[in-house]
Amino acid sequence: MTNPFGFTSTTDDVLAGIDLTGKRILVTGVSAGLGVETARALASHGAQVVGTARDREKGSKALAEVGLDHAAIDLVELDLADLASVRRTADQLLMERRPLDLVIANAGVMAPPFGLTADGFETQFGTNHLGHFAFVNRLAALMRPGSRLVMLASSGHRFADVDLVDPNFDTTPYDPFVAYGRSKTANILFAVEFDRRYRALGLRATAVHPGGIRTELSRHMGAEKLQLLADSINADLAKEGKPAMAWKTPGQGAATTLWAGIVADADAVGGRYCEDCQVSPVISDESIGFGSPGVRPYALDPETAKALWAKSEEWVSETFDLRLEGHR
């Protein structure tokens, strides 16, 4: 069957006719942008949503603006840049023993000045990857067979592969977009390895690029830098004989997340990278710019994915393997 969804599809298009009553879905980063829209769409179709926010008051206000109150969403505090917060929130959810049907790792930070997390990791890698790595792995025991993990990645993964030797820029000059690229490649590789490890247990994982959306994510860039990035993308598209990029609405941006997490065939998206409600082609040609769909081969490399998992366990000082824990 031809996939009816694409670039302009919205969350409401993707979920049309789908009843999510009885499904419990966790979404990180529900205090703005895509997270709020994702939570709204899921709740409007009957899902019980657990949302996380670094600032609960900000999250409550943002959710209330789209008609969600505490009866519609369970809001919990989580700071992905602090592993103590990650463990505290994960333990709180584990104590409740309430199963999950879908986990959406949506929260993130993009291109800030150089900084370190509470645990001494470069801000973007520590927040976007390591925070989610520890949080998702701790909650994986709650995921029912048939559940999925969706990692919010980005075409920005094309800025850089992961660096397993110098993740914190100790010996190399800091570049905010290189750091962002490393963290987004890590998000994809985490999905690749999670899917490989746990598909036999009935758990699948995928990574998605939501597209270009004007949200709080770009707050560290400012209007001028954001426009320069858009101009660069458009220059690449012009060289390829393609029209200029179009910004997506939050509803269009979150559509791929819900398509990959709920609608698409699990075998089609498991361990893959998706955008515009499609599985993306693998592109080795570096002359193809960011505005064209595609994923770099290094972001799907299974050996790198295994190595990243092992190093991430080392960095967060925890090991994770549901296969050894009798997951059911």
pLDDT in tens, 199-209: 999 999 999 99
Would 325 be classed as within a structural domain? no
Q: What is the DSSP letter of 281?
A: P
Ranges 69-78, 168-177, 230-239: which has the least confidence = 230-239
Tell me the angle at which helices 302-316 and 132-139 cross, rounded to the nearest 10 degrees: 90
Q: 11: closest CA among 256, 218, 203? A: 256
Q: 295: closest CA among 261, 272, 276, 277? A: 272
Would 4 be classed as within a structural domain? no
Is the confidence at residue 171, as pLDDT, over 70?
Answer: yes
In which band, very low, low, confident or very high, does the pLDDT at 246 lie, cut at 50, 70 and 90?
confident
Q: What is the DSSP letter of 276?
A: T
Residue with tokens 């075409």: 155
This prediction's pTM: 0.92
Domain count, the chain: 1
Q: Which residues are catalytic?
A: 180
In which band, very low, low, confident or very high, does the pLDDT at 224 lie, cut at 50, 70 and 90?
low
Is the confidence at residue 290, as pLDDT, over 90?
Answer: no
Would 319 be classed as within a structural domain? no
Residue 255 near residue 5 (C-beta atoms within 8 A): yes
Would 201 be classed as within a structural domain? yes
Question: What ranges make up the beta strands (E) of the chain?
Answer: 24-28, 48-53, 73-77, 100-105, 143-152, 204-209, 273-275, 278-279
d(CA 88, CA 288): 43
Would 324 be classed as within a structural domain? no
Task: Provide the CATH number for the domain around residue 304.
Answer: 3.40.50.720
pLDDT in tens, 30-44: 999 999 999 999 999
d(CA 188, CA 149): 11
Q: 299: closest CA among 149, 130, 185? A: 185
The domain in which residue 304 lies consists of 11-313
pLDDT of residue 286: 79
Is the confidence at residue 234, as pLDDT, over 70?
Answer: no
Would 322 be classed as within a structural domain? no
